[in-house]
Amino acid sequence: MSDLKNAIRDVPDFPKPGILFRDIAPLLRDRFEDTLRALDALLTDEEWNGIDALAGVESRGFILGAALATRRGKGFVLVRKQGKLPPPVVDVAYDLEYGSGVLEMQRGKGRVVLVDDVLATGGTMTAAAELCERAGYQLEALLALIDLKIVPGYAWRNMRVRACIEY
């Protein structure tokens, strides 16, 4: 995974002073297949067989989750920012290290794996996980491309995030 980690670009003071942004655009541009292979390997074949869909968090989670869903022949479910999905929707408010927001999702059913690009403080992942359950899905696993280890040992309901890259 160190070769993937080396491809990530550090952008200091983005989106605001004091934040070190980990830019995954080089992975998507130059190492996308390797990135997907690494994410895919975080689950066993048995786990992949037990899920119906991947739920991706807007926006980079869409890219990763939809590509993994296609690769594995699974469905894809959108976790979007407020006001982007037609009603009816279920919503959850959450706080970030540099703001707050609301995530929305349409109701559904089945077993899902939640996918996002970065686990930082856990605010978005926690809100998205809660949202999946409120919307009627059974959450089977949490995946992130990067775990910044801001919250060491982060878990949601005893479910640890599986990540390819750690800082």
Residues forming the active site? 60, 97
Measure the CA–CA gap between 53 and 83, rounded to whole angstroms.
23
The dihedrals phi and psi of 84, each to the nearest 5 degrees, come to: -105, -15
Helices (H) and strands (E) in the chain, counts: 6, 10
Contact residues for 93 (Cβ-Cβ < 8 A; gap 6+): 100, 101, 102, 127
